[in-house]
Structure 1
């Protein structure tokens, strides 16, 4: 197994999907050991830091990559198995950014009143307990919350020579911000350009569904990923497979359209798995699907449709790729 280790310097961060030369050329079957910076480019470190004073909004959501996968071409599917996510710092940061967040005035929801006041929270990690510490600033409340490491951003280059900001989720993946992107899952992304050109970043030590204020417990992350390629099989909307669930992520605005995209994506997946036509898939989906939110704050919103495998006959998505990668990960 080829192993690539990469810790980008600040001038090597990537800010878009598409339009960037690859940092590495790798073969299917490669194990990547990566480091990713937090969404703030490491600039928020204290509760006294204000986003408007320390952040450069042109340099948020830095990505590690992109990686050119040998043999990948449009019509294929990239399989990325998240072997491990380990916080690379002993603290994470969250904040209220002016004109950003689901319950604030934004550039898309333009109102006359001022944005919410800025405030920054620093969460201390306890690696022994595997918790992050919430410390309220308006009352004497401290809560130890379980860590739930995830990647906010996983994506490939878009089709049609498009270049998209690393803040945007869409059919190519990107800034989906779903807690489903956690250790032990396999993410399937349709390849749009030669080499796929995928990047990852935006590590979260914990995030609730929807990412309401727009920022999770953001932190630098040590990331281990197994990369595989599925030839001749296209994938439209990003899919995630865990040991227990099938998941589809749809991204759009308004939120209903993001949800619809994830539902249509799952109907298609059920058809592939069990030979169902669209109407049978639609009926089955209606009775067994779960619909958590991913984000309601980004340039596009992201909604999730997931189905528990225990409710379905034993399936074999992509020829059993998830099980194959899971076994490989266990042997590392």
Structure 2
């Protein structure tokens, strides 16, 4: 008898019964939170036509698994659940009541370097609202996000909030050409990893003037209370295209968050938050955990132009995504969620 070596691909994992019980339990908790907020479940195929997944998410697309299938079609494994949602809504809009509130809990795949809390196959738990341009929808995304984290006793996470158009206006104020906006977003998105000096070097290396790079870093690293940061941004960006509107939307968003009774201290305005995905167009959110240092455990944002790439007209949308793997790491390390020793109910 020939013997084959038992092995698994790098960045992929088996799950033991203990691990699966915890995963399914946490997924069940998130599902209850989503449904309590009025979100309905959907599912989409793991494989999509390659053209569905490309031209929408910037850096993440470079990590996509894609190939020609037996019918010589170019296909790809989904790298997030948001682009498939945009395609789904375009195909099922006639059957969808607006605002369309859906949740989707499923695996995605990215060919990135495996490290703590980061794998090549991982699960996302998404809740999105399609068809509403109101900041109330964004506030609900923040509310769902914080409720989900609270439900698994992860109260140490803090949701940072910023606005893509605010960052664009700050870049213009600093003297950065508009065509460099994606470069600025990607550089700022690495601030926690490479620090202010690293962001400056990245910007200069991509062609941004050194004085402009210094000004960008100065603007986005400003600190203060939520009101102080928004007041300063309003003063700086008066007369800068898009700046005042972005500040107004953030003020409106903050008011709605308070009216939804989101736990005080669970969120803050952070002018350095960029989120590296290209399809974001408005408010962006990110929840981080620093102990243990797994980084971002959830991300979110408004993407008013993504659905329109399939329909040829603008359709507002916003939502949030919980990273199951990193959340489970924190839960296990601090024993945040009690779990039975077996599936048998003794």
TM-score normalised according to structure 1 size: 0.25
Tell me which protein shows more strand as a share of its residues.
Answer: 1
CA radius of gyration, larger in: 2
Tell me which protein shows more helix as a share of its residues.
Answer: 2
